[in-house]
């Protein structure tokens, strides 16, 4: 009798070796460029630093061949005074959140250990992973290293923006 391998041992489909090599080269170029830009931006320029962080995350995801899909809530989030709460536990989810949040504070789901500013709206985000063909990937099947992420073919990070919760007291 033959048994199917468990879901946790299955690996996502791999990209061709030449594609993996090209992605690693693009990643090296993106990280080197971000390092140079971070040296050139003045320390006192907070707005430019935030933009640099967003661009670094976007360039990294692009170099790795990862797409980000943001699915908005039915009611838009408040523009200011918000804290984004995410269930992301990995580097890939954090990079995707950095491109979406643009300067808003981000904390994990363990709110009892964190402080949320009074009057701030809590905006939850559910991070999910899938492939181009629609197959959903459990978080434990998503590679954690940049090299492993570059090896996956057709990886998509979905950011589900859930309805904002009442302002923290």
Give the Cβ contact number of residue 118 at 10 Å. Answer: 9
pLDDT exceeds cutoff 80 at 54:
yes
pLDDT tens track for 4-23: 444 445 678 888 898 889 99
Whole-prediction pTM value? Answer: 0.79
Whether the CB-CB separation of 99 and 54 falls below 8 Å is answered with: yes
Angle, vertex CA 100, rays to CA 98 and CA 103, nearest 5: 60
Stretch among 113-117, 119-123, 129-133 having the lowest mean pLDDT: 113-117
pLDDT exceeds cutoff 80 at 169:
no
Distance CA 115, CA 97 (A): 20
Distance CA 141, CA 90 (A): 12
Query: How large is the C-alpha radius of gyration of the chain?
Result: 18
User: At residue 24, what are phi and psi to the nearest 5 degrees?
Assistant: -65, -40
């Amino acid at each position: 009798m033959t048994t199917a391998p468990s879901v946790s041992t299955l690996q996502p489909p791999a990209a061709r070796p030449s594609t993996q090599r090209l992605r690693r080269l693009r990643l090296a170029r993106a990280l080197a460029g971000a390092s140079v830009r971070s040296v050139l931006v003045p320390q006192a320029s907070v707005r430019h630093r935030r933009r640099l962080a967003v661009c670094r995350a976007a360039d990294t995801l692009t170099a790795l061949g990862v797409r980000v899909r943001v699915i908005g809530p039915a009611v838009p989030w408040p523009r200011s005074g918000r804290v984004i709460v995410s269930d992301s536990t990995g580097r890939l989810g954090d990079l995707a959140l950095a491109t979406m949040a643009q300067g808003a504070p981000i904390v994990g789901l363990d709110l009892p250990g964190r402080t949320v500013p009074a009057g701030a709206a809590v905006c939850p985000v559910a991070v999910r992973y899938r492939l181009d063909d629609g197959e959903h990937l459990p978080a434990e099947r998503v590679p954690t290293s940049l090299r492993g992420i570059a090896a996956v073919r057709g990886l998509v990070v979905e950011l589900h923006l859930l309805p904002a919760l009442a302002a923290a007291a």
